[in-house]
Structure 1
Amino acid sequence: MHQNITESVNDSALWFDEFFMLDQNSLSDQALGEARIQLGWSPRSRDLNEFENRLKLRYKLPNLKNRVDLVFSDYDDEIADNPLQNTKIDNRSERNRFSLALQWKAKPDSGLSHRIGIGRRLQPFVKSRFRSLLNINHQADIRFETSAYYYSNDGFGADFSLLYSYVFTPQSMFRFNNHFYYRDSTNDWLWQHSWQHLNQINDKNALITGFYMEGLSQPTYHLQEYLTSSRWRINALRDWLFFEVEPFVMWRKDEAFSASYGVSLRIEGYFGQT
């Protein structure tokens, strides 16, 4: 099954790449693709129907000198990768379910990228993003990222994040992340802060313990939700197969900040290579 899906992903990459051939005699055999599929269930007290389904496809196009990627996903990349991404503030889990875009860079290793495509209920959009990494010393670094975008119906938006990482040992790391999203439709900021400790137990097992907060800037800077969790990630059965178990406790403003207990169960498959 894994081989068939991988071959299908790579065949699709070659098919897309053919559109950009300048010489019919120089068909590239270097085009490759990758697919990530994740299925999950996050039941908690008061809500047993929190399901997570994610699909992302990315194709490298050598005929465009590896400066252009074709990206398809059923979720919005602007959502930070933390457990609060599945909450329903502003119905983000329902709005940002599909994106198809071309992403290009002036140079393959450039920190500045641009994207054009359709997303958020088939709205045409354009987006520019800049990433930069500052190494403080051999143990600490700061990653800065900012982007601006325009959707045909939702209007302008922007986000920026500042991630501080500190490596205690080759197997242990601390991260502190601040992420802000500006939304033109509501003229406010959605903010997220998180603290994480990452521990690589061995080549197959890792543990991520964290505390996460999320809120809004209007009418005042206020908290909407916070959560603490411990995620165990294991690579088992196959090299391309990953499992996650993440017990958590959540407090939400619309639930009077009463504790809600739950656990996230996920399975993720990786197909292809780039």
Structure 2
Amino acid sequence: MVFQISQILVNVKGLTCGVVIAVQWMKDMTKKMSRLLLSTWLIIAGTWSASYCYAQQSATPVNEVSSENESDIIKPQSKKAQPEEKFTIHGSPTQAEIDWMESLHERVSDTVFRSAFWFDGFFTDEDDARERPDVKARIRLGWEPKARDLSGLDNKFRVRLKLPHFKDRMDLIFSDDEEDSLNSLPLEVVNTRPQIEDDSFAAAVRFVHHSDSDHITDTRLGISSGDVFVRARHKSRYSWHKTHGIRIEPAVFYFVDDGLGARLLLEYDYQLSPRDQFRFDYSIRGSEAFSGIRWKHGFYHLHQFSLVQAGALGFVIEGERNGENGFMIDNYTLSYRYRFNAYKQWLFFEVEPFLEWPEDTNYKTTPGIALRVEGYFYKNQ
């Protein structure tokens, strides 16, 4: 087992190149996209009616729940469940635009898939009838202007490769939000802290020790922002009367530079109706990298308008206690997140106006709005 881990870490650089190639083009376009994003939203608003009708005709219910990313209000459909899209207006500008979007989607999916297929084959000599790896990628481009800061960008990517040679017991995860996953609540997207480091790339190997519909225990070993880390996590879910649900998720992590740390996430869900849910999240975190305990509370009302539209009203309070300043509240955030699927089944849009009351501005009201475009890329054949 130790030998396999060492081989994985030696060869992960090669796989990283394939993933980074797929993502780099999107990152190079970030500056241009941020300038055009506001104009894009005006165009989307004008064509929303037609896009919404198309999306409702092609959408089907989704029952799959991901164990890695549960923050999405609306999940994309798996590729197997999607009907084949047929185009009949050949040579038109609309057709050219559709072909360009489909070509981009196919190129990114193929690049990541080929890298995963090569990496999985490194551990076996059987070339015939090999099971194909499961590849899922998410790329998000966003602009979060707020008072006194109109240049805020929110660009994230995440790639997960499930390798069949290890009987679904090992994943490779590439992202730039490893730190965010420890600092944020599951439904929290607005970045309340300034970006300090530009190098936030993380690559990790995830070993799944136990997994079923309600419980999962896993360990991650990798590198994040140039710091080697290991993290162990256990997640359990309990529900009763089809109305109440509880999630308990303790985690222990160690970063070479920051030292030992731990986090506990608690979640309570109350299903008010088939389309409405109230949620309370509580997170507490400690680390040798800072003094005291950092905590965060989140209160949410989730509403699903249709299969392709949903909204989340949220109020988040964060702060610390037992630190250098004793008990203090760092920030209040009130937001409404509207998410919808339009134009393509793998493409999602979000509008999230918000108000912040940060401690560093003496709790003055800071309005802002987040505009995001999120694409999902998947391939397993």
What TM-score, normalized by structure 2, do the two folds share?
0.68
| Greater shift in the superposed pair: 162-171 or 104-113 | 104-113
Q: Find out whether 1:9 has 2:112 as its counterpart.
A: yes
Deviation at 1:29, TM superposition (A): 3.2
What does residue range 222-233 of structure 1 map to in structure 2 within 5 Å? 222-233=328-339
Deviation at 1:137, TM superposition (A): 2.4
Q: Determine which structure has more spread, i.e. the larger CA radius of gyration.
A: 2
In structure 2, which of residues 350, 357, 360 is the aligned counterpart of residue 244 of structure 1?
350
Deviation track 1:27-60 (CA, whole Å, cap 9, x = no partner) reads 6232121110001111111111211010100000
Aligned to 1:164: 268
- Alpha carbons 2:210, 2:218 under 8 Å: kept: no
In structure 2, which of residues 191, 194, 197 is the aligned counterpart of residue 86 of structure 1?
191
Aligned to 1:100: 203
| Greater shift in the superposed pair: 137-146 or 77-86 | 77-86
Aligned to 1:19: 122
- Alpha carbons 2:110, 2:379 under 8 Å: kept: no
- Alpha carbons 1:20, 1:64 under 8 Å: kept: no
Aligned to 1:70: 172
Deviation track 1:232-267 (CA, whole Å, cap 9, x = no partner) reads 101000000000001111100100101011100000
RMSD: 1.8
Deviation at 1:216, TM superposition (A): 1.2
What does residue range 156-195 of structure 1 map to in structure 2 within 5 Å? 156-195=260-299
The structure with more strand, counted as a fraction of residues? 1
C-alpha distance in 1, partners of 2:315/2:144?
17
What are structure 2's unaligned runs of at least 5 residues?
1-103
**What is the percent sequence identity of the aligned residues?**
35
Matched position secondary structure for 2:290: coil
What does residue range 19-38 of structure 1 map to in structure 2 within 5 Å? 19-21=122-124, 23-26=125-128, 28-38=130-140
Runs of 4+ in 1 over 4 A off after TM superposition: 82-85
Q: 1:83 to 1:68 in 2, by over 3 A?
A: closer
C-alpha distance in 2, partners of 1:168/1:38?
31
Amino acid at match of 2:327: Y
Q: 1:136 to 1:273 in 2, by over 3 A?
A: farther
Deviation at 1:105, TM superposition (A): 1.4
Aligned to 2:220: 115
The structure with more helix, counted as a fraction of residues? 2
Matched position secondary structure for 1:178: strand
- Alpha carbons 2:140, 2:373 under 8 Å: kept: yes
Give the aligned length. Answer: 270
- Alpha carbons 1:161, 1:177 under 8 Å: kept: yes
- Alpha carbons 2:211, 2:217 under 8 Å: kept: no
Aligned to 1:125: 229
Q: 1:166 to 1:54 in 2, by over 3 A?
A: same
Deviation at 1:122, TM superposition (A): 1.2
C-alpha distance in 2, partners of 1:92/1:188?
22
Deviation at 1:107, TM superposition (A): 3.6
In structure 2, which of residues 243, 252, 258 is the aligned counterpart of residue 139 of structure 1?
243
Aligned to 1:59: 161
